[in-house]
Structure 1
């Protein structure tokens, strides 16, 4: 995957996390509107600059709060960070849960009609398998083989770029 595709994949993950959090609602609902690709890229660059500054020069409390705010807004690490996944699932359960947390059909409903058509039936299954596998990262990390198997399943089902917002890129 090229670096551009990697960043687009990151945005795609953001959009699906946004849609899922909005569907669950309550306290896990994102506070603002979904970012466009351009808005996401701008905030991602700002976050990257702040993170680099933290490592090279350190930062004051206001900069640290901004870094945390950007990380939360971008849902940075939402799908592949076991601690983030576990925190989301605990919060989602407190909100009453949602069928998309375990049912592939309900998760597929997070995709637009155009995205489902673009992916086809097998592609939709792959997307659902991939993202639902990410939820298993929340399992206790006492079983390193289980965690390795989970990451292997996640990598084996990495979906192509399919979002409507990315289809027009040339």
Structure 2
């Protein structure tokens, strides 16, 4: 059973925002290569999905396992909702000197294009910022398990709509 199209588009949207944030932080967290188009992302996502299925069914040789890991890294798969990924990113971002977008809604909003901000409106921009900044809270519950429930509640309560320029062209 495949995910609805809106979920797949949301996954791409999350990739783009992670890409923009990592590029803004710079240094060692800067993504390799150019930002993928929706079609490019979809093609690599299908390849990753095929490798993951094969891993479950038959195992993978070391070369294919490295490819699966490389695709996961390139697609920033799970970047926003995986506590260990969030924690690793925040540690690396802090080593790079941090960035205002890691804690300030206005700085995070600056990652959006003018057209995206206009499409979302003031309330929508606030929701997008609140959602993604809430995702950073996933790193803390690794030390405070009770905080995980509260973090997930904030994330779900602020789930943004689809809004990227790349999705409305």
- TM score, norm. by length of structure 2: 0.97
**After the TM superposition, which parts of structure 1 deviate over 2 Å for at least 4 consecutive aligned residues?**
140-145
Corresponding residue of 1:70:
71
Deviation digits for residues 46-103 of structure 1 (CA, Å, limit 9, x no counterpart): 0000000000010101000000000000000000000000000000000010000000
SS in 1 for 2:47: helix
Aligned equivalents of 1:4, 1:137: Cα separation in 2? 26
Provide the residue aligned with 2:160 in structure 1: 159
**Structure 2 spans left out of the alignment, 5+ residues:** none
Correspondence 1:62-101 to 2 at 5 A: 62-101=63-102
Deviation at 1:142, TM superposition (A): 4.0
CA distance in 1, matches of 2:112, 2:163: 10
Distance in 1, Cα, partners of 2:143 & 2:69: 28
SS for the counterpart of 1:76 is coil
**Residues matched between the structures, number:** 167
Quick one: distance in 2 between partners of 1:19 and 1:151? 23
Shift of the alpha carbon at 1:3? 1.1
| Partner SS, residue 56 of structure 1 | helix
Contact 2:141/2:147 (CA < 8 Å) preserved in 1? Answer: no
Q: CA deviation at 1:167?
A: 1.1
For the aligned residue pairs, the C-alpha RMSD in angstroms reads 0.9
Mark the runs of 5 or more structure 1 residues left unpaired by the alignment: none
Distance 1:5 1:140 in 2: 29
Return the alpha-carbon distance in structure 2 between the equivalents of residues 67 and 94 of structure 1.
27
**What does the per-residue CA deviation read over 1:8-55, in whole Å, with 9 as the maximum and x for residues that have no partner?**
000000000000000000000001000000000000000000000000
Superposed displacement of residue 146, structure 1:
1.4
Equivalent pair of 2:102/2:133 in contact (CA under 8 Å): yes
Q: Match of 2:16? A: 15
Q: Secondary structure at the match of 2:10?
A: helix
Residues 137-167 of structure 1: per-residue CA shift (max 9 Å, x gap): 0004343331111101101110000000001
